[in-house]
Amino acid sequence: MKKRFYITTPIYYPSAKLHIGHAYCTTLTDVFARYKRLRGFECFFLTGADEHGQKIEKNAAAAGKTPQEFVDGIVEGFYKLWDLLHISNNDFIRTTQERHVKVVQDIFSKMLANDDIYLGKYKGWYCKECEAFWTDTQAGPDHICPDCGRPVQTAEEEAYFFKTSKYVDRLMKFFDENPKFLVPESRKNEMINTFIKPGLEDLCVSRTSFSWGIPIRENPKHVIYVWLDALTNYITALGYDSEHPENFEKFWQDPESETIHILGADITRFHAIYWPMFLMSLGVRLPDREFVHGLLMMKDSKMSKSKGNVVDPYPLVERYGVDAVRYYLAREVSFGSDGNFTPEQFVERINTDLANALGNLLNRTVSMINKYFDGVVPEYKGRINDVDGNLEDLTKLTIESYERLMDDLKITDAITQVNELVNRANKYIDETEPWALAKDPEKKANLESVMLHLTNSIYVAGMLLKPVLVTASDKLFEQLGVTGDLLNYDNIYKYGVTGGLKVEKKDQLFPRLDAAVEVQYIQDIMAGNIK
Ligand code: ME8
């Protein structure tokens, strides 16, 4: 099994503040990275900012700033959000950094020298006012500029093209030979049927209509198309083509390392079709997996910066805490499918799973151990009856299925398994009635066993949720008295290790939220009244 891996998020555009969709992708990627690290993998986790392009040039001008000043300000906000959410990335790449610019220019020169890029003519729809070229789809049937709404004219400009035709067969072969490359499977079919089968045109990889981009060394009036610039971040950050290629060799080229890109469904085409072709052209290994997640909507309408219907994650984390927001993101919308954000579901999820189920389980268990056993968890004495045995079996099964699902990036399903274990343990308290056992001295062994099984399930649940509940899992372990060696993941396989722990009652892990008040609060965030 591979013991090293490289994982990336898309690099987001600093054209405006990030919204909860970006937080969703980065948080879920972070959950996976933390999970693999817990399992002993060496991980390199990259995120960053995609800083070039016409839109950024325009937004900067509208804000009265230079593009660099403009993106510097917005990227500060990226750092702040990732800090708030405890994102454990190992590096943050900005496409305006020198390490990136130089390599993108080298890559372009290489492709030009290989004859994979040639100079041709770009035919499209041109808007004189905006000085922008648009494709057929963008101009639509009425031939209108999507930005200013004025009519556009057909026009031609000199541009460089990447020869996709040269690589299309190799790409199809690669898809066939690597069925796990692009998941979920439906995304692959969509790529083949929508883009490849109808015939892929050569890709225009340069622009002359604006200047905020990386200039082509051989012909500096052109800037490099933003997607060729952006996608290469995944290797420039590792030191590809630099004086320090160690991480590139170790995390990308070495087949012992697994490379995984996480991305949203809106950008699958660039990652699944063009990126592999660029890598083939450079003679670089292709990534092992691309996992496409769905998009979060706001009650059936796509959340987007331009529509102004976004949920700002900053005030959300500030009010509800990092653990609640991370848990909601990981648990609510199945990773890989589209989903809705609603304030009601947000509050409900936290109350049901965290306050009522997990928090309550810990609270009840610690109180009973204090009351019946002076705060010390009784030792494990083996399987003394079926009820206890069932909880023991379920705990072991939960670990197995959690690991299998997590390894497949089915993060939501994996968390759901843990939630089911927690629910089962709560039900087990009701079934075993420890308060009744405590009244009968002959049932002492039963009572001991119940307390041990409960603490063991909480211990396992706490460990499995550690990649999500980055601060609450430590608080849970503190109350349970888990320290030292038991903080290592591998101990969850040893059933009964919680015997002898000294528990300590502290504050509720997750106070119950007042639904009416909090739904209103989140609606205020969405209306932009709280920042
Ligand atoms: O496309 N729901 O950047 P971007 C869930 N710079 N995820 C969402 C989302 C939503 N409503 N909206 C955005 C770019 N995302 C390029 C990427 S990579 C080499 C270059 C997430 O700022 C999702 O992961 O538009 C999506 O793919 C990404 O943000 C797009 O971010």
**Residue 29: exposed, middle, or buried by beta-carbon count in 10 A (0-12, 13-18, 19+)?**
buried
Q: Residues lining ligand 1, judged by CB closer than 6 Å?
A: 10-13, 21-22, 24-25, 50, 230-231, 233, 263-264, 266-267, 295-296, 303
CA angle 315, 66, 127 (to 5 degrees): 100
Residue 17: count other Cβ atoms within 10 Å of its Cβ.
16
Report pLDDT for 258: 97
Report pLDDT for 306: 53
- Contact between 458 and 362 under an 8 Å Cβ cutoff? The reply is yes
Report pLDDT for 297: 86
Report pLDDT for 130: 73
User: Which residue has its alpha carbon closest to ligand 1 atom 16?
Assistant: 12
As a whole number of angstroms, the distance between CA 269 and CA 267 comes to: 6
Rounded to 10°, the helix 411-432/360-373 angle is 40
**Cα-based distances in Å from 187 to 264, 273, 277, 335:** 11, 12, 18, 14
DSSP 8-state secondary structure symbol assigned to residue 240: T
Closest-lying ligand 1 atom to the alpha carbon of residue 13: 22
Report pLDDT for 284: 97
Closest-lying ligand 1 atom to the alpha carbon of residue 25: 24
Report pLDDT for 528: 83
Report pLDDT for 299: 67
As a whole number of angstroms, the distance between CA 466 and CA 186 comes to: 31
Domain assignments of the chain as residue spans, ordered by start: 4-310, 342-493
Report pLDDT for 463: 98
SS3 at position 500 = coil
As a whole number of angstroms, the distance between CA 488 and CA 271 comes to: 36
**Cα-based distances in Å from 405 to 185, 272, 491:** 16, 23, 20
Topology (CATH level 3) of domain 4-310: Rossmann fold (3.40.50)
User: Which residue has its alpha carbon closest to ligand 1 atom 12?
Assistant: 21
As a whole number of angstroms, the distance between CA 168 and CA 203 comes to: 12
Q: Alpha-carbon Rg of the chain, whole angstroms?
A: 27
Domain 342-493 class, CATH top level: mainly alpha
User: Which residue has its alpha carbon closest to ligand 1 atom 31?
Assistant: 12
Residues with pLDDT less than 50, the chain: none
As a whole number of angstroms, the distance between CA 65 and CA 88 comes to: 31
Closest-lying ligand 1 atom to the alpha carbon of residue 303: 11
**Cα-based distances in Å from 450 to 371, 427, 459, 480:** 14, 12, 14, 15
Report pLDDT for 124: 87
Report pLDDT for 101: 98
- Contact between 196 and 176 under an 8 Å Cβ cutoff? The reply is no
